[in-house]
Amino acid sequence: MSSSVSPKTAAPSVDVVVVGSINADQVVRVPRHPKPGETLLGSSLTHTAGGKGANQAVAAALQGARVAFVGAYGCDAYADVALEFLRSSGVYLAATRELDTNTGFAAIQVSDDGENSIVVIPGANEQVDAAFVSDNGSVIDDAAMVLLQGEVPASGFAQAVDMAVAAGRRVVVNLAPVIEVDREALLAADPLMVNEHEGGLVLEQLGLPVPAGDAARVAALLEAGFASVVMTLGARGALVASADAPEPVAVASPKVTAVDTTGAGDCFAGAFVAHMAAHPDQCDLVAAAEHAVRVAAFSVQHPGAQVSYPDKEAELPC
């Protein structure tokens, strides 16, 4: 059984509160992804920390942000694996709870060309609902911004947004995977951070047509009511736009050879909010994206998710 995270009596002042998922990742390296019904021989098997929420929290902490986490893990053998980098990177874990269930688990296949496929078993993450966030989310009052994803229940997502808005905190949403969430809670995102596919799904969720082309989707999301949008484009970088500056700005990614893209989008998100936290008076979304693409490009040159994330001392690709 995993040791429980010891609670503390008072939350510190933090830059970012991440409300999200914690997983143990089982990573299998394969020459290519198998076809249905096909058996392939893999080259390696590893277990490491993952979960989109935990990934983003670790990435932000390694880039110098003071990060607190609201989430849950199970009382099983995978808990210590899942918590390893949250602990070592200095993420504040007093609002992270051990529950009488299994830790979230992700089965990941990574092919020789660096592409991955992922199946997630939510486990304890399924219990991060409205009641859980209400009971454990007081740290939101002490933060500059709240970062959310789509790997916890929609009620927990909405509760976190409500608490952040009531406290006057900035809400950053990386709705991955795209789940059905409260419309007003979703539109509170500033920015909404999605890839090109997720951007289309968000528009569909809002009952809007999905135009072809990345820039057109960014424009449609702004028209839907989002204050700002960051669309990640993998190796091509990102597009950034806001209601005040609606013409999308292309941010190019450094050219690197990808070994494993697992968690790269989460690395981008964490580095993005860390840069925002480090420059609170500027609120320059383009500069934050320029930093985040470099951090994410560093990560894809190494296997794994959190284990591949650089700290502030790392030499980032240009």
What residues form the annotated binding site?
A: 23-25, 51-55, 151, 195, 232-237, 260, 262, 265-266, 299, 302, 304, 308
Q: Which residues are annotated as a binding site for K(+)?
A: 260, 262, 299, 302, 304, 308
Q: Which residues are annotated as a binding site for ATP?
A: 195, 232-237, 265-266
Query: What's the Cα-to-Cα distance from 148 to each of 18, 114, 207, rounded to whole Å?
Result: 6, 26, 22
Handedness of CA 248, 254, 255, 257 (dihedral sign): negative
Per the residue annotation, which of 112, 190, 266, 284 is the catalytic one?
266
Q: What is the widest separation between alpha-carbon atoms in the chain?
A: 55
Q: Which residues are annotated as a binding site for substrate?
A: 23-25, 51-55, 151, 266
Which H or E run includes 239? strand 238-242
Tokens representing 95?
A: 């609002």
Specify whether 266 is catalytic. Answer: yes
| Residues catalogued as catalytic | 266
